[in-house]
Structure formats: C-alpha cells, structure tokens
Structure 1
Amino acid sequence: MEKEIKIALAGNPNCGKTTIFNALTGAKQKVGNYPGVTVERKEGFLKLNSYRIRVIDLPGTYSLSSYSPEEVVARQVIVEEKPAVVVNIIDASNLERNLYLTMQLLELGVPLILVLNMIDDAKKKGLKINVSALEKKLGVPVVTTIGHRGVGIDQLKKVIRQVIEAPEKAKPKFPLPYPRELLEEIEKLSDLLKEQGSLRDYPLKWLALKAIEGDEEIISFLVSQKALGSSFLQRLKASQERIKKLLGDEPEPLLAEYRYYAIQQLLKDVVNYVPRKTLSDRIDAIVCHRIFGIPIFITVMVLLFQAVFSWSAPFMELIDSFFSWLGNFVGARLPDGLLKSLVVDGMIAGVGGVLVFLPQILILFFLISLLEDSGYMPRAAFVVDRLLKPFGLNGKSFVPLLSSFACNIPGIMATRTIENYHQRLLTIFAAPFMSCSARLPIYTLLIAAFIPDKKVWSVFNLQGLVLAAMYVTGLIVALVTVIIFRFMLFRGEPSPFLMELPPYRFPTLKSILLQMWNRSVLYVRKAGTVILGISIVMWALFTFPMNPELSKDYEALKGKAQDQETLIKLANEEAAERLSKSYAGRFGRLIEPLIKPLGFDWRIGIALTSAFAAKEVLVSTLAQIYALGGGGSDEVSLLENIKKDPLFNPVTAIGLMLFALLMVPCMATLPVMKMETGSWRWPGLMVCWTLTVAWLVTFFWVHFLGPQVTKALGL
C-alpha cells in the first residue's frame, strides 16, 4: 500500500520555488486558499517508490516573522501540520539574503533539505560554493539544481526519499548563533513552557525565542494558554529587559544582527567569490536604461497585444463554428418549446459566446508567463517606477496592477506587499481600471465586428492597436484616479522602491504550459458554473412572462402572409416585442434614459447590468438577446448578428468597450476590496466613482472624440 507523506517547499520570492514545485508534481496540482485568509495554497503530489508525497508549496517569504499573512501561514503549516521534511529552496546567486529564512528554519529544528537553485547563475556571477562544506556546517543535506532546466531534480527526489526513511539525516546540527546571556533566557522561558501540557507537541525553544523577539502572534497564542496567562507576560517582559540591559539593545534587532553575522561567517567558510560581469548585467544596461527602458517596455506591451489578437483568430473561428453547429444540431432534435429555448438560446448561446474567447486567454497568459519566467517583469517594475513616482506610487504598485490585467481580485490582494497605507489604497483604487481578462471577450467581439484588419504605418495591425489602446486607456484613467484621490484623500510622499533583479533565464515550456493549463481550467470552470448559471437566469428574465400583451395579433398576420420574407419579418417583430416586454426588457427600458446619451439602447443596458456579475456575461447576454429577440439568425454567429444591427457602428462599439472597461468591477471584487481595506466605505466609493467615470468618458468619446478619430482612420 502507498503511504502518504507530507513535505513543504519554503523559500524567498523569486527563488525558483514554483519551478521546483512544478518539476516535482507536474500537472497533479490543486490550488485554493488557506482557511480564513486570501493567501493561495498550492498542493501537488509526487510518487516515490511506495510513497505518495503531498507537496505543499508555501507562500514565498523572507522570514518566519508575523509581519504578513504569508509569513504567518508558512510557519503555521510547518509548526502545526508538521511536514516530514521542509525543502528550503534558495537562490544560489543571492545566498546572504536567502539564508536568513534558512537560519529561522534551523532555529525551528525541523528536518531540512537545502536546495541551491539557479547554481548556474551563481557560477556566472563568480561564486564558487563548497557544497560538502556547507552540508557539514549545517548538518543537513544540500542539493544543487537548475530548476528551469530540470537539472538536479532527480537527485532532489532521491534525497527526499532518503530523509523520509531516515529523518535523523536532515536534523539540523547548526548551533544557535546567540550570546550566552540570550541562550540562558531562551532556556528559562522554554522550561516554563514545558509545564504547559497543551504545548508538548510544539517546538518550545522556538516558541520562547519568538516570544523574546516580540512576535505578537506567538505571544498572544502563549497568553491564551490557561496555565500561563498574565504571569507569562511578566516573565517575558523581565527576560526582554534583562537582555536589553546585558546586550545593549532590544531583542528583535539583536537577533537579526546575530543571524546575519552567522550567515556572513558561514559564507566566508563555504564561498569563494570572484566578481564577473554577467550577460544579465549587459542586457540590463539596455532594458533598464533611463532613456531606452520605457520605449522598450511600451514596445513589448504593444507586441504582446498584437500577438493576442493575431494568433488567436483561426482557433476562435473553429470554436465559434463548433458552437453554431452544436446549437443547430441540438435544436433540430428538440421539440419547439421552453426546453429547446433554454438549451439552445440560453445555455449553448450563453456559454458558447464566452468559450469562443478561450484561445485569447491562453495566448495572453502564455506571453505573460514567458515574460515573468524570463526575468523581464521585475525589470518592467523598475522601469515603470519612474513613471509612477509623480503619481504618488512606486514600482511596488506595478505587480498588483499587472496582476489586475489577469483578474482584479488577485491584483487587489497583491497590494499587501505595499507597506505605505496610502499607497496601498491608491493602488487598490487603480486596480479595477486595469483591463482584466474577463473584458477581453468584449473587446474581441466588437473589434472583430467593426475594426478592419489592416496595417497602420505598414507595421502595426489596426485591430491590435485598438486592443492595446483599451489597455492604455484603463491605465491612463487609473493614474488620473490616483492623482485625484491623492489630492483629495491620501496626501503624502511615496515610500522608496527597492527591488532585487533576478538573473535572466530561459523559461521552461513545462512551467508555462502548466500556468496556461491552470488558467484555462479556471476559465472553463467559470464558464461551466458561474456563467452557465447567470445565462440560465438571464434566459428566464428574457423569456417570462410567457404571454405579455402584444401590440399586434401576430398569429393572424402570419396566417395572412403571402411570402416567406413577410413571415420572417413578422416573426422577428414578435420576438423583439416579447423580449422588450419580458422582465429583463422592462428593466432595460427603465434604465434606458440613463444610457441613451451614450448611444446605447435598453438591450445594451441589460447586457451591461448582467456584466456586473462577471464581465464575460455581457457577451453571453448579447448572444441570448439576438437569439431570443428576432434580431439575429440562428445560422450565423453573434459577430455577424452584431454587424447587421443598425444600432452599432465603430463609434458605438468602441463606446461600449470603454464603458465595459471603466464601469464597476465584477461583484466578487467588492468583498475582497472590503476585506483588504477593512471597510465597506471604500468599495462603495469605488462603485460610484467607476460608474461616473465610465459614463463621462463614454459620453465624451461618442459625441466629441469618436467621430473625429474614426473619420481619420477611415472607419
């Protein structure tokens, strides 16, 4: 029988931990959140002989302190879930910074394997690491890897198996690098904790050490133990005062100083360094240049959006043809009535209208993963820092804003890395204007329908430029929002931006494909659950009431029709009137006066309202409107139906894209925003602000700028 063993991967951000995780587990992964927090929990499985190993990819952290949810979660997993071994992955080219986390893992005394990842980059920098000496010093196995090439992974698996079978091989033997006075206080406090029976399964010396260090999470946990209570706080305070008196400083900075001193002494014994100028340094001289860096960044982004639109077209046509065939195939085999309408016009038209854009989602994430894994994204943050500084932000806002291009929710959650509270709030307000992947189906549909596939300046494709312009517009509006809110609410100087640039490396196809696969699964799952559910609800709102009072006796008129053309015209008129008198149609008519100045009618009003649930639903709602309203044909795609609608033209189409870009984010974003800001006041303000901005910008486009631009482009 297979025996399940649990191991954990720990490491700093950008150490290649995810690459190692992917190499160990392959596609056998599941992603969720840790209970009670929004920190992502990633698990995978690895089979080694008779062992089934559950691999937990801990959040990337620089330490095991309690300054961020990621740090708290990482140590809780190690302390409470007790993995059989912790695999500590470190960037071999940045040993001093990475080994700080290693020191804290050594303090915990857990079975440890040290992985020197990116060993090739260390050699290029002129670092020669004596692996056997490092093993001897720390008393734990050390493995060298080049994760993105798969080098050393088999050796790592072998060592993991050996440690599982003989845990004593990975028990740290490195002595705590603290003076005698500090060690005595740790010993006294841990003796006190031994008296508490409920703590017998915890590492007592580590708890004592963290309490002396002033870790509030640990102190609160210990005080909650009935036998300790307030007396423990008195003993702890006495220990801290004694340490300060004897050693001349507070325990926390002292402990950090001793850890770094121990790391420096360790590196003197195991590392020989001969500085060299690497290829990464030479590339950075160009891509991070004060003058050339920004144009290079803009060019990369424009090419990315060009590729998204150009490469996906043939695949989208195939999916579109499939769903058209599927609708006709199923419709021909079901009797006329509610069931046929639900399946064909509600489910197939709704879900198919969204899944047709899956190729664009895949290509977008393929290219973004390529840029991330190659090491360019941190450079982009460095370059963009200069652009963001005048607006009261810095390069730390770049990663949350970039994440928002995939989905606003992880983008807003990623603002936790911004220490400055005002900068964090400003970034949260900017994030919803970043054009998330859910808006991409809307752009693609309307651009394909009304923007011709032609060259501009003999280089760029006009469709790709319009797509890029939507993303740029979102960024511009976000920055204007930041300026206004900073002036009105969040005045103050931005904090300085510090970032370590990892070396460039060739991305691994396996890692990129895994990221694409995970994203596509989430997108398809969303189409099969959320969007399917909303499509059914919208179908019901479009279909009922079943027998509204109509302006004409359509059945009598159809009986008198002399030709097929008149019959089709009457059928379309009847369907359109039934739709307008449905529950959804009545709501659309109610809000029509608000959106009529934008060139929209009640049908677009319904679609925009449904998009509040999820932006992609706008497309599926339009598909249902044309399927049920008689304005389109079952034999042609939504694209062709929109082209034939007299309401739409290039100005209206781009106006709808702008409104969808700038309107209130999807409803799932608002609770996340409340959770991150701690108040419903900020999500409420965001809803009012985004709707106001969307209306004003669209109005200006439709009545002033749009006609001039489309005329100049010959649209």
Structure 2
Amino acid sequence: MKAPINIALVGNPNSGKSSLFNALTGLNQKVSNFPGVTVDKKTGNARITPQLDATIIDLPGTYSLYPKSADEFVTYDVLLNPKGEDRPNMILIIADASNLKRNLLFCSQIIDLKLPVIIGLTMMDLAKKKGVEIDLAGLERELGVPVVAINPRKNKGLPQLKKNIELIAQEKFGAPARDFIENQELAPAVIADVKKIFPVTSDYGALHVAVNYDELEFLNKGQQQQIKASIHTNGFNKTKIQAEEIMQRYSRIKHIMNVTVVETDPLQQQLQTERIDNLLLHRFWGYLILLAVLFLLFQSIFWLASYPMDLIEAGFGSISGWFSQILPDNKVSDIFINGIIAGLGGIAVFIPQIMILFGLITILEDTGYMARISFLTDRLMRQVGLNGKSVMPLISGVACAVPAIMAARNIENKKERLITIMITPLMACSARLPIYTIMIALVIPNKNVLGFLSLQGLVMMGLYLLGFFMAIAIAGIMKWFIRIREKSYFIMELPVYRAPRWKNVGTTMIEKAKIFVMDAGKVIMVISIILWFLASYGPGKPMEGVHQKYEQLMAQTTDSAQLQDLDKQFQSEKLANSYAGILGHAIEPVVKPLGFDWKIGIALITSFAAREVFVGTMATLYSVGETEDSDATLREKMAAATRIDGTPVYTLATGLSLMIFYAFAMQCMSTLAIVKRETRSWKYPIIQFLYMTALAYACSWLIYVIFK
C-alpha cells in the first residue's frame, strides 16, 4: 500500500466543509496546532479505496485568497508554501451550490494555483428550492476541473468523489491545464522576478508572494529584500492589482453562470429563510424574540432538569445511607462514603443540566439562529469597542471559556480580539452552573411569578445576563486603555435556516456529559479525597485534646439524646481542629465581610482548579462533619448548617453574595493558561486575574451589605 496522500479541504465558511470532513474521516481525527501559531489543525485519516489512504487536512474557512485573520493566513500558508510539511497533493474545494457565484471566486483562485483540484458542490437541494439548476458537465468543462455534487450529511456523492480522488492519485488527472484568468498579464515583470527568487508553481502563486512577501514566513530575509526591490522597481501597486484581478474573475464567473446555471423565476422566488429573517432580524421584534429565546433557554434548564436531578440526588443520599448501615465503622468505610460517594454525587447531580444546556445551544447553532444573534448585537458591540464577531466567542463562553477564547481567532482586528479575550471569562460558563443551581435552590423560593414563570429560572437567567452586561461594561472601559488603532468591518454570511440534526444534538449532549464527568469529575474526585484526609486528620495535640474531652463527657452520661448531641459537637469540633479547619479559619477573616464562613473559604481555594469543584468540596466537608442523616442530600445539609451563634449560614444575603462572587471571579486555571497561550504573554492573564478578583470581591461585598 502506498503512503497516504495529503488532501487539503478548503471552502467558504458554512459551505458544508466540516460535514464532509466528518463523513470522510469518521472517528479517525485529531486536533493539534499548526506550527508557530495557536490555530487549530484538524486532520483525519480516510480510506479512499482498499489500496489508497488519505490524510485530510481541514483548513480554516475563508472567502478568498486574500487573508485577514490568523485562521485565513494558515490556509494561505499551506496552499502557497511549496516546502511546507502540510503541502497537499490535491485540493478538495467545497462550494455551496445555492450561492455559487460567491463561492466560484475562491474556487477560481485555487484553480490558478496549479495544484490538482476537485470541486464538491454541496446544498444542491437548497439550490433546487431556490429554482436554481446547475449543468454539472458544463461547469466542469468551463472550470477545467472535476465537479461532483455531494451531500455529506446523507453520504450522497461520496463514491464518485472518492473515484475522482483515486484518478488524481493515479495521475490520470493533473493540475488544471489553463488559467482561469490571464494572471501573467497583471504584473508580468514582478511575476517573472518572483519565480526566479522562489520556486512557486504558478503565475498566480507568484503574484500572491509579491502581495504578501513581508508576512510569509517561508521566505527568508534575502528573498523578501529581492522581492521588495522588484516591486519598487516595477511600480507594483498591490491594491490596484487585487481590484483588477477580482473584476476579471467576476467577469469570467458571470459568463460561466450564464452558460451553466438556469434560474427559474428568480424575482418570484422568496426563500423561507428570507421570510423568517424579516421577523427575527426586525429592529424591534428581533431583539424581543432574542430575549424570549434566552429566557426559554434558562427556564428549560430548571423545568427539564429538575426531575432527573432530584432522582439522582435522592439516589446518592440513599446509597450513602445504605452503605453506612452495612459497612463496618472504620477509616476505609469513611473515605468510601464521605469521600468517594459524596464526590460522585456532587458530579452526577449536574449531568442533566449540562446535557440540556449544550443540547439547546447545539439546536440554536444547527438551525442557523446563532449567526443571527451576532448580527443583532453588532450595533451594541460597536459601542464598546467590539463588533458582531465578538458575540460568538461570548456566546460560546456560556459553555466554556477555553474554546470560546480560542474562537476569538477569527476576529481580524487585534484590539477587538484582545478585548474579547479579556472579557469572555465573565460569561457564565457551564462550570458555574452547579454553583448557581445549588445556591438558587437554597436561598431562592421555588415558586412561580405571574402564575407560570419560575422565580428560580428568572434568577438563573439574571445571573447569565449579568455576566454578559458586565462583560460589555468592562469592554467599554478597556477600549480606552488598549492603544491599538485599526479599522474593522463586520461582514458575515447568514446561513440558511435548517431543521436541527437531532442525531448531532444527542451526540453533543452525550459527549459534553462525558467530558464533564471525565475531566471535571477526575479533578473533583481527587480534591474530594484530599479534602476528606484534611478534614479527618489534624495536628496531634489539638486532635488528641478533642478526643479526650468528648470521651470523658460521653462516659459521664447514658442518656441517648445527650449522647447524640455530644457526638454532633464532637464531629463539629474535630472538623474545626483538622487541617482543613485550620486552613479555613486562617482565611476566614478575608472572606467574612462577604458573608462566608471558613467552609466556603476552603471551597473558594479548591475551586480555583475548576469552579465546579465547589460542590464537591461542600459535599465532602459536610459529609465528614456529620454522623447523622447519612442519607440526607447535600442541599439539606447545607440548609441546616448554622454559625456559632446558631444563625443559618446560607441566608439570602450569603447566597446572593456567593453567586455574585463566582459570577465575576477568575476561578479557573485552564482559562488563564489558554489566555497566556493566545496572547503569548503572562501580562494579560495576570491583569485578567487581578481585575476579575477585585471586581468579584467588591460586588460580592456590596450585595451582602445590601441584603444583610
């Protein structure tokens, strides 16, 4: 068997490229980074024929070969660099048949790079609905490259696509024989000089090297100086050349469209998408509908998840009680029940909400509504130094700040990208969800407003909106301090509306639940066991003193009620004198102004590893400190918790203060690490940690004072 061939997968955003990549590679995928940059490199292995394997490189989506963002420069480098490690043997271009004219611009540029090319036309069904009929044979003849109609979602056209790949691999098809336009005539002297200086494969490739010579890392300093000299000598004006090239390409595309595409009654055809957009993008109703969608999203998290959560919580409470009855009273049983079982319960109870949140977000993405949210919020974003493209990372931050910050790479403007990175962690990510859920259940009454709106759901929505509006406010402040002057434009394609792929929704829900259990679960379990040890043991003399004191007191009475009271006091005092208790009491003066006790203080420290660890920490601390009611749920134990003076720990003021603290605090090492990687500096994560911690402390203190 021959070595795998390299196939570069390119295309406009929303053209179906990712669907084809998944259809060809299945589960044989991996994500890394392109050398020297933080842009994701998606590669996968595909079996084309029994004798032919291929490595598919899924390049970032781009509209033309004139790059504006870091993502587009990666595509540019892979396609132009003849010595690059990812140099493709052939290029597979995915083009949207329902927007063929726009997609053909990029196709024509790729064709002129003189590498073997196949064009895969997607969304033929949508083109048909628009009344568009495409003569595939005529289009293939005009372009001079194979054209195949495909539907990756339904695996249609893939056998024919693979057959064309096989023919190119067998060298029965080669690079396009003719240029799409006369590239050589655009700048003959400069193109000739570049081809002498650097081994490009085409006139058009030489033209691009001349346009971007100072940003292409595969050119050495000497080559860059020679190209610069040629440009200066020949009066090369790259803006004028680019404009002339694009005009020539669209002139030829217009001819191709006239001879290969038939549109029936184009003026009478009104797509369902356009009719829906008239409502969803309306100046007034569009924003009202957006608020309604967000409202339903957060109400559903409580409506749909409450039943499975109650069952899971009750189930783990019963399991703990059952094990307490059948297992002997020793240290192994103690760590199993109060360390492992309590930690598992703290993880499992939030799986329904995680799954529902990601399921609903996937539905919004699949239907095409997520892109409309960017469009609607562009005006607001511009007021604070951002643009509509910043909305997608911010919305992604509702799931997790790490991939959301990485998604900011497609923002071309450096200042807007940096501000987006700095404010994205203020969005209420899914790691905050367990904290919000348990605190809302503790301090917010479970009742309806206006007879049908859940008050707890309204508070949850308020916390998410609070994160968003605080992010906007901080962005408005940062735009005055970040001194980068660069114009930006918001150009975005709105995808057509589609029915959600329910299989994709279900797969996403299961995968996100697995990630939560495996990634967050491992951290929670480790910290739960460490905390069990810290809460069960302490310095020798103080712990011995506590044991001796209560042994003497218990020996002096036989009354069962008094013995239970003494045992409860013993467990509480033992916990206070443990290593965890000593640590908690040491930091208590710092957190006391916020209404927090020493147990919450410990949770604030442990949850820096991951915010959701807060619940696991509480589960362990309250399990170790209790001997009765082993089958009581964590919420019941927290609700019963009291301070030294007998007042409850979790009052409305404390609960709101704690939620506000977690809404704004940078309690996530992974986020700081990714900010450092994306900005290539420790300066910005340090600033981010300091401003978010100060903001969290100040707002938490203010809320506690108001509601105390």
Decide whether aligned partners of structure 1 residues 254 and 557 sit closer, same or farther in structure 2, where only a CA change above 3 A counts: farther
Give yes or no for the alignment of 1:385 onto 2:390: no
Counterpart AA for 2:434 = P
2:176 counterpart of 1:172 = yes
**Matched residue type, 1:213:** V
| Amino acid corresponding to residue 419 of structure 2 in structure 1 | L
TM-score between both structures, scaled by the size of structure 2 = 0.87
**Match among 577, 581, 601 for residue 581 of structure 1:** 577
Pair 1:565–1:61, CA change in 2 (3 A): farther
Q: What is the CA–CA distance in structure 1 between the aligned matches of 2:19 and 2:38, rounded to whole Å? A: 22
Match of 1:68 in 2: 69
- Give the match's secondary structure for 2:118: strand
Q: Distance in 1 between matches of 2:462 and 2:324?
A: 40
Q: Provide the residue aligned with 2:60 in structure 1.
A: 59
Q: CA deviation at 1:402?
A: 0.6
SS at structure 1 position matched to 2:94: strand
Q: 1:626, 1:632 within 8 Å by CA — same for their partners in 2?
A: no
Shift of 1:397: 1.6
Alignment partners' CA distance in 2, 1:434 and 1:249: 40
2:401 alignment partner AA: N
Contact 2:436 2:460 in 1 (8 A): yes
SS at match of 1:625: helix
Contact 1:100 1:259 in 2 (8 A): yes
Q: What corresponds to 1:571 in structure 2?
A: 567
Equivalenced residue count is 688
Question: After alignment, is 561-570 or 504-513 more displaced?
Answer: 561-570
1:14 counterpart residue number: 14
Alpha-carbon shift at residue 383 of structure 1 (Å): 1.2
- Provide the TM-score with structure 1 as the length reference: 0.87
Secondary structure (helix, strand or coil) at the match of 2:542 reads: coil
Tell me how far 1:599 sits from its aligned partner.
Answer: 1.5
Structure-2 separation of matches of 1:53 and 1:460: 54
Counterpart in the other structure of 2:92: 87
**Superposed displacement of residue 429, structure 1:** 2.9
Shift, 1:492, TM fit: 7.8
Structure 1 segment 551-566 matched on structure 2, within 5 A: 552=546, 553-566=549-562
The correspondence of residues 308-387 of structure 1 with structure 2, limited to 5 A, is 308-324=301-317, 327=320, 336-387=329-380
State the one-letter code of the partner of 1:668.
S
1:382, distance to aligned residue in structure 2 (A) = 1.3
> Partners in 1 of 2:111 and 2:604 — Cα distance?
55
Structure 2 counterpart of 1:111, from 116, 119, 138 = 116
Cα gap change, 1:431/1:173 in structure 2, threshold over 3 Å: closer, same or farther? Answer: same
Aligned partner of 1:713 in structure 2 is: none
Could you tell me how far 1:671 is from its partner in structure 2? 2.7
Quote how far apart the aligned CAs of 1:591 are: 2.1
Change (3 A) 1:425 1:248: closer
Following superposition, the deviation at residue 333 of structure 1 comes to 7.4
Query: 1: CA distance between counterparts of 2:393 and 2:490?
Result: 14
With over 3 angstroms needed to count, the CA separation of the structure-2 counterparts of 1:29 and 1:349, relative to structure 1, is farther
* 1:421 Cα deviation from its structure 2 partner: 3.3
Instruction: Confirm or deny: 8 A CA contact 2:383 2:476 kept in the other structure.
Output: no
In structure 1, what residue type is equivalent to 2:469? I
Equivalent position amino acid for 1:240 in 2: I
Counterpart of 2:644 in structure 1 is none
Counterpart of 1:198 in structure 2 is: none
User: 1:484-499 alignment to 2 at 5 Å?
Assistant: 484-487=477-480, 495-499=488-492
Q: Which amino acid aligns with 1:18?
A: S
RMSD: 3.3
Question: Does the 8 Å contact 2:152/2:158 carry over to 1?
Answer: no
- For 2:688 and 2:227, the matched residues in 1 are separated by 45
Change in Cα spacing, 1:566 to 1:400, as seen in structure 2 (3 Å) is same
Stretch moving more, 208-217 or 296-305 = 208-217
Tell me what 2:212 maps to.
214
Amino acid of the structure 2 residue aligned with 1:156: L
Shift of the 597–118 alpha-carbon distance from structure 1 to 2, 3 Å rule, reads: same
Contact 1:584 1:606 in 2 (8 A): yes
Deviations 1:53-108 (A, max 9, x none): 55443322334556433234445666533455533222223334333432343234
CA distance in structure 2 between the aligned counterparts of 1:243 and 1:124, rounded to whole angstroms:
50
Match of 2:133 among 123, 128, 135: 128
Q: 2:697 aligns with which of 682, 688, 695?
A: 695
After TM superposition, list the pairs within 5 Å mapping 1:539-688 onto structure 2: 539-545=532-538, 547=540, 549-550=542-543, 552=546, 553-630=549-626, 633-645=629-641, 646-688=648-690
Aligned to 1:416: 409
Inter-partner Cα distance in structure 2 for 1:144 and 1:555: 83
Instruction: State the 1:693 CA deviation.
Output: 1.8
Q: Which runs of 5+ in 1 are unaligned?
A: 195-201, 224-228, 708-715
Q: CA deviation at 1:702?
A: 2.4
Partner amino acid, structure 2, of 1:652: T
Letter in 2 for 1:212: A
Q: Distance in 2 between matches of 1:470 and 1:295?
A: 19
Deviation, structure 1 residue 676: 3.2
Q: CA deviation at 1:555?
A: 2.8
- Displacement of 1:497 after TM fit? 2.8
CA contact (8 A) 2:49 2:162 kept: no
Instruction: Name the residue aligned to 1:712.
Output: none
Cα pair 1:394 1:494 within 8 Å, conserved? no
State the partner residue of 1:401.
394
The answer as to whether partners of 1:8 and 1:86 remain within 8 angstroms in 2 is yes
1:255-310: CA deviations, max 9, x gaps? 55554554444434433443432111111111111111111100000001111221
The amino acid across from 1:211 in the alignment is V
Cα contact 2:339–2:620 (8 A) shared by 1: yes
Please give the alpha-carbon distance, in whole angstroms, between the structure 2 residues aligned to 1:106 and 1:66: 17
Deviating more after overlay: 614-623 vs 475-484? 475-484
Q: 1:213–1:255: 8 Å Cα contact kept in structure 2? A: no
SS at match of 1:500: coil
The code of the aligned residue for 1:164 comes to: E
Distance in 2 (CA, whole Å) between partners of 1:310 and 1:591 is 38
Distance 1:503 1:613, change over 3 A: same
1:445 counterpart residue number = 438
Name the residue aligned to 1:98: 103
- The percentage of aligned residue pairs carrying the same residue is 38
Q: What corresponds to 1:197 in structure 2?
A: none
Q: Cα distance 1:280–1:556, how it changes in 2: closer, same or farther (>3 A)?
A: same
Give how far 1:140 is off: 2.6
Query: Which stretch of the first structure deviates more once superposed, 427-436 or 178-187?
Result: 178-187
| Alignment pair present for 1:460 and 2:453 | yes
2:271 pairs with 1:278:
yes
Question: Structure 1 residue 586: deviation in Å?
Answer: 2.4
User: Match of 1:226?
Assistant: none
Aligned to 1:710: none
Distance 1:570 1:47 in 2: 71
Alignment match of 1:475 (pick from 444, 468, 475):
468
Deviation at 1:406, TM superposition (A): 1.0
